[in-house]
Amino acid sequence: MEVTAGMVKELRERTSAGMMDCKKALVETSGDMEKAIELLREKGLAKAAKKAGRVASQGLVKLAFSADGKKAAAIEVNSETDFVAKNEEFIDFVSALADLALSSSAADLESFMVLDYKDDGTVQDALNNKIAKIGENMNVRRFARYETPGVVYTGYTHGNGKIGVIVGFETEASYDEIAVMGKDVAMQIASMNPKFIDETAIDPEYIESEKNILVHQALNEGKPANIVEKMVTGRLKKELKETCLIEQKFVKDGEISVCQYIDSFAETIGKSIKVVEMLRYEVGEGIEKKEENFAEEVAKQMNN
């Protein structure tokens, strides 16, 4: 029986084993899914399966940069508990994955997971080994890599890896020249969580959606229809100042905007600087967290 990509995908989802291990198991069992699962379990490659249903919403974000700041990468790896996220072995693992993301040319998560990882086989194999050893469900959630010509990258990690920020500046200045300023801007992004760099980056559909919401808010407040448009324009402008990075008040000096801070710094060193890229990863954002009774969870662990 021919082993298809769909079969490999299904077996991987059911066992959390590496893709190559899944393919080999299916080949050995002539495509019999249940026998392939048994084979993986016998080989100790499906130890992570029992953990796979648990919500992994804790974890770490790690960043990696080239020495000249011309390349940057970020990765988020999740665990079930904050306790594991503070485990030195887990921290080292995530750091190594960040370095791999920086040096590789993987275009997506699927291709990243099949990259070679030291002596453990693939990244997926290494992850499965960590799950089996540490005893918690974990997953590599996302990663990003930047290397735009003419752009220098800096970053900031907050809360021991709970938030990671990369910001890219289009400039002729070196990394060393902009390092302090770059960290300040990255801290701004970590703290204020802007949605856009500036108004030119805003999707027109987003503006229209926000405008409609503000119109309905004003009408529900009983404001006369003939002045609603003017009110909404003012409110929208205020909101955009809060959601656009360079329009925000600078957290270290509320008297100036981020744009003014960057422009002043650029004037000081005599080189133009413009923010052109930014990324902000926060551990677990958007993951539905499952509330569990702590005593029950301990009992589950004891019975595993």
Structural domain spans, the chain: 5-51, 54-147
> pLDDT value at position 55?
63
Span between the terminal Cα atoms of the chain, in Å: 35
Q: Where are the alpha helices (DSSP H) in the chain?
A: 5-15, 19-28, 33-42, 82-85, 88-103, 109-113, 123-134, 175-192, 204-220, 225-243, 258-269, 294-303
Q: Decide if domain 5-51 falls under CATH 1.10.8.10.
A: yes
Q: Say how far apart CA 24 and CA 2 lie, in whole Å.
A: 12
Model confidence pLDDT, tens digit, residues 18-45: 788 888 899 999 999 888 888 887 776 6
Comparing 5-51 with 54-147, is the CATH topology the same? no
For domain 54-147, give the CATH number.
3.30.479.20
Model confidence pLDDT, tens digit, residues 283-304: 988 875 544 444 554 455 444 4
Instruction: Return the amino acid letter for 213.
Output: I
Residue 132 clears pLDDT 70, i.e. is over it: yes
> pLDDT value at position 171?
98
Model confidence pLDDT, tens digit, residues 133-178: 888 889 999 999 999 999 999 999 998 899 999 999 999 999 999 9
> pLDDT value at position 288?
59
> pLDDT value at position 53?
52
> pLDDT value at position 292?
47
Residue 12 clears pLDDT 60, i.e. is over it: yes
Q: Say how far apart CA 233 and CA 236 lie, in whole Å.
A: 5
> pLDDT value at position 242?
85
